[in-house]
């Protein structure tokens, strides 16, 4: 049973007026004296609710409206129309009670001071959030252990690796122990090991403190590892709100069959088994409708000399890409 929503968005809209100028000198003069505008619809009629403790993926191509929505939810910009409440507060009012309950982490932004040890920046954050010294020490110690940052916080930030800097940024953002985490590309640019470390930390943090997380990421491994529910936004409109597994089932009604054959075969002898995606020497990959999977596998094993056979689901990013290409979810 889902608990009471901690994030509520109802018919959110954000439109931006953009000046329109005709080319040439005449257009420039006319633009100087009398400007005309057109409206850019960044977000249109977006509605959803997120319960306390949920970890929800927020997906969409570049320019879809993800960051604009996050900025409305965190109070950085005011919606053109609609209603939004986060942790019982109206974000745009930016009241202290609201700021104590939320945090926003953007992978391409940093709050730590570059030339100072991260610990110095953390002390500033503790002062801003009125965290007593003993509690500050306890929280830093706890988060340092969870993030495997022992011995790193006393080094200048510029001497930390990218993965260590991102972990330190997370520590700074979570020092006041917010109830709601808005994470915009938190693993951007990190290597595979650093990404896995950040994901493990976020999972543990969510379980330990029942924090609510709204996560945007272009790394689908982040979404599949952390999120059971996803929101899909495209051209400013919410296309889908539901289970990630259900989405994959609806838009990936096929499976991939990976084969290693005993000997090379010509392409013509393989086309009848499915949609041939790859043929490199003795390595073959088919796409096969899920309904025909059992029959096709039996046929392959009966008619071909197979060294190895694997059946897998298609990559999540490929499925999501097909959803955005279609432009509609029925």
**DSSP label at residue 313:** P
pLDDT of residue 60: 87
pLDDT of residue 291: 83
* Positions of CATH 3.40.50.300 in the chain: 5-12+44-249
- The class (CATH top level) of 254-312 is alpha beta
Q: Which of 179, 176, 169, 152 is nearest to 54 (CA)?
A: 179
| Token code pair at residue 9 | 């968005």
Place of tokens 């071909």: 304
pLDDT of residue 6: 97
* Positions of CATH 3.30.70 in the chain: 254-312
pLDDT of residue 327: 61
- pLDDT tens for 189-247 read 888 888 899 999 999 999 999 999 999 988 888 998 999 999 999 999 999 999 988 88
CA–CA separation, 256 and 32 (whole Å): 59
pLDDT of residue 3: 66
- The class (CATH top level) of 5-12+44-249 is alpha beta
- pLDDT tens for 281-300 read 999 998 888 888 899 999 99
Interval 263-273 mean pLDDT: 91
Name the strands in the sheet holding 36-51, side by side, starting at the edge strand that comes first in the sequence: 36-51, 5-20, 81-86
Average pLDDT along the chain: 90
pLDDT of residue 23: 85
Global pTM reads 0.80
Band (320; pLDDT cuts 50, 70, 90): confident
pLDDT of residue 282: 92
């Amino acid at each position: 049973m889902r608990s009471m929503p901690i994030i509520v968005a109802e018919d959110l809209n954000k439109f931006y007026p953009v000046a329109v100028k005709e080319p040439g000198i005449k257009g420039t003069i006319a633009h100087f004296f009398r400007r005309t505008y057109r409206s850019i619809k960044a977000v249109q009629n977006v509605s959803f609710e997120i319960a306390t403790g949920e970890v929800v993926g927020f997906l969409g191509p570049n320019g879809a409206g993800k960051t604009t929505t996050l900025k409305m939810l965190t109070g950085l910009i005011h919606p053109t129309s609609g209603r939004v409440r986060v942790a019982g507060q109206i974000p745009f009012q930016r009241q202290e009670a609201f700021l104590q309950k939320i945090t926003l982490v953007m992978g391409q932004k940093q709050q730590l001071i570059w030339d100072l040890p991260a610990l110095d920046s953390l002390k500033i954050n503790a002062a801003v959030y009125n965290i007593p010294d003993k509690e500050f020490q306890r929280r830093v110690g706890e988060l340092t252990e969870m993030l495997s940052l022992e011995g790193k916080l006393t080094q200048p930030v510029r001497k930390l690796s990218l993965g260590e800097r991102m972990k330190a940024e997370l520590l700074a953002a979570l020092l006041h122990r917010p109830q709601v985490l808005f994470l915009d590309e938190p693993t951007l640019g990190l290597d595979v090991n650093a990404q896995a470390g950040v994901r493990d930390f976020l999972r543990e943090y969510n379980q330990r403190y029942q924090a609510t997380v709204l996560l945007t990421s272009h790394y689908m491994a982040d979404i599949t590892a952390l999120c059971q529910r996803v929101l899909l936004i495209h051209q400013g409109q919410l296309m889908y709100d539901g289970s990630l597994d259900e989405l994959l089932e609806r838009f990936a009604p096929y499976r991939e069959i990976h084969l290693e054959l005993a000997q090379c075969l010509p392409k013509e002898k393989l086309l009848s088994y499915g949609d041939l995606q790859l043929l490199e020497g003795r390595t073959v990959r088919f796409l096969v409708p899920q309904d025909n999977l059992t029959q096709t596998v039996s046929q392959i094993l009966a008619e071909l000399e197979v060294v190895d056979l694997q059946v897998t689901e298609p990559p999540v990013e490929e499925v999501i890409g097909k959803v955005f290409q279609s432009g509609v979810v029925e």
